Amino acid sequence: MLRLSKKRLVLLLGAAVLPLSVLVPVSTSTASQSASAACSPDLSVPAPAGAQVESVSAVERPGGTVTFPAQPPFPAPDPVSGVPAYCEITVVLTHPGAGDHAQVKVWAPLENWTGRFLAAGGSAYAAGDFGVALAEGVKAGYAAGSTDAGHPLDFLDVSSWALTSSGKVNQPLLENFASRSVHDLAVVGKAAAKEFYGRAVAYSYWNGCSTGGRQGYLEAQEYPDDFDGIVAAAPAINWAKWSVAAQWPNVVINQEKNVPTTCEFDAFTAAAVKACDRLDGVADGVIGRPELCKWDPAQLIGKKVVCEGKVLTISAADAAVVRKIWQGPKGLWYGLNRGAGFDGLAATAGGAAQVFPVSNAWIQYFVKQQPAFDTSKVTYRQFAELFRQSEAQYGVVIGTDEPDLSAFKKSGGKLLSWHGQADQLIFPQGTVDYRKKVERTVGAQVDDFYRLFLAPGAAHCRSGAGPAPTDPLAAVVKWVEEGKAPATLPAAGIDAGGNQVTRDLCRYPQVSVYLGHGDPANAASYRCG
């Protein structure tokens, strides 16, 4: 049985277990609207191309404080209060020959609809979110929708859908997860809102992080007319590469036959932060320029670390493991940034490496098609083979790294992306690499439609040692509806001392520069340069 600490559950799920604070009401010229149709199953929702509608149901919900069940091994999300009455519309789709039954749910507020549609992305192997994301969306006046892609909304367990009875990859359900369900959600969600309110959606938005970030990029790449604005954070693009590369820390630990404790890993992180803290001109407990940090873990050899009452000595073998994890698989992909926690991809307990479930499942079910495959035995040579096989077999299916965004640019869409520089699950270098490819492919003026913000010290989909964006959705709404492109992205977090820290994140490739005076915890003490 998979046993995960509550802390690691949050790391794995990212935004999925957090209230989506980005979904606050924003000013709009769109007049508030009320429903023109009854909340009844008589609603007629047309099927997207290549799909058939199996059923449509609609149930009126009273709103108030909405609670959500736990999804073991994960705890229940926090309740959402102040949710208005809404109509819950459920459309079940099937794709001929696929044998699937994909649900699209739309929560439509009975009053004070802003004319906007908001699609919510998923996390890990869950293609969508039928809980907090929809509650927060409808609370902010959106008609909010999500999808299950035709399989259970389980973040980690793919055993019920990944393989057919004959042990082969279930290609239709993989296609649903990779791309098809997201477009279906856009088409069905906007159509359901139009049927319910009697008028077309004025603006449509996507909001997601991690898997949801990948889905947002997928929309810009393959369905450029679906959404006016997209927020895609910490995106799991390059999925066919990243999903195997995320296994690299475990391979290193097992192959080097050396298992540093959590305390020892933390000591390396703290030492790297101390050594590279001032690279951005200010000591604030955050590596502001991780790409410039070259601190050598060998400098910690011989240091004593107190861990659970025991005194441990950092060894050359410990430093070698850390160095390889930071370097990543040379010639293949990236490693963890210095300053990122090891407790996501390189967690250890009881003298053994703890598998990262998302990567583990990808290798077992999709690459090897052997659910019992033991990833702890993977050698360096086998790792390289798995990496190349995954890319060759699934790059076109779920790579989500097509850099030609010219169609999205032509459609007038706006893509806002951010990534924590201390992301412990998805390597931010992959996002930067993709951005550079877009610049080379599309040419000048990329910032006219696609802006990337890097958040020093921020973790996966959330703040960490450094602050995370407070309201990226509001920023993209202003960009779409008012033509005000975000020059900076307000961010906030809590430092190690419990004090609030604010920053204005700079759009890539600019970085935040300390003015040389003022409170280092205050955004006003920095400029972009």
Vertex 168: Cα angle to 165 and 173 (nearest 5): 85
Residue 5 is a catalytic residue: no
Name the residue among 231, 236, 143 with its Cα closest to residue 413.
Answer: 231
Q: Which amino acid is at 523?
A: A
Q: Identity (one letter) of the amino acid at 158?
A: V
CA distance 239 to 231: 18
User: How many alpha carbons lie under 13 Å from residue 242 in its C-beta half-sphere?
Assistant: 26
* Catalytic residue, candidates 129, 228, 343, 423: 423
Within 10 angstroms of residue 482's Cβ, the number of other Cβ atoms is 12
**What are residue 331's DSSP bridge partners?**
none
> Rounded distance, CA 183 to CA 187, Å?
6
Report which secondary-structure segment, H or E, holds 527. Answer: strand 526-528
Gyration radius of the chain's alpha carbons = 23
Gap between the Cα atoms of 331 and 310, Å rounded:
39
DSSP three-state, residue 493: strand
As a whole number of angstroms, the distance between CA 49 and CA 493 comes to: 44
For residue 397, the tally of other CB atoms under 10 A from its CB is 17
Q: 118: helix, coil or strand?
A: strand
Q: Quick check: is 210 catalytic?
A: yes
Exposure on the CB side of residue 337, measured as CA atoms within 13 A: 33
The catalytically annotated residue of 179, 181, 210, 390 is: 210
CA–CA–CA angle 409, 412, 415 (5° rounding) = 65
Tell me the β-bridge partners of 53.
93
Residues in the chain: 529
CA atoms within 13 A on the CB side of 87: 27
* Sequence-ordered list of residues with C-beta below 8 angstroms from that of 121, at least 6 positions apart, any chain: 128, 129, 146, 206, 207, 208, 209, 210, 211, 212, 213, 215, 216, 232
The tokens for 214 are 């990948």
Of the residues 460, 471, 495, 512, only one is catalytic, namely: 460
* Cα 133-137-139 angle, rounded to 5 deg: 120
Find out whether 495 and 285 touch, Cβ atoms under 8 Å: yes
From residue 325, alpha-carbon distances to 210, 333, 424 in Å are 21, 11, 12
Helices (H) and strands (E) in the chain, counts: 14, 20
Instruction: Please indicate whether residue 401 is annotated as part of the active site.
Output: no
**Under DSSP, is residue 361 helix (H, G, I), strand (E, B) or coil?**
helix
Phi, psi of 407 (to 5 degrees): -70, -40
Q: Residue 165, SS3?
A: coil
For the chain, what percentages of helix, strand and coil (3-state, to nearest 5) are there? 35, 20, 45
Please list the active-site residues: 210, 423, 460
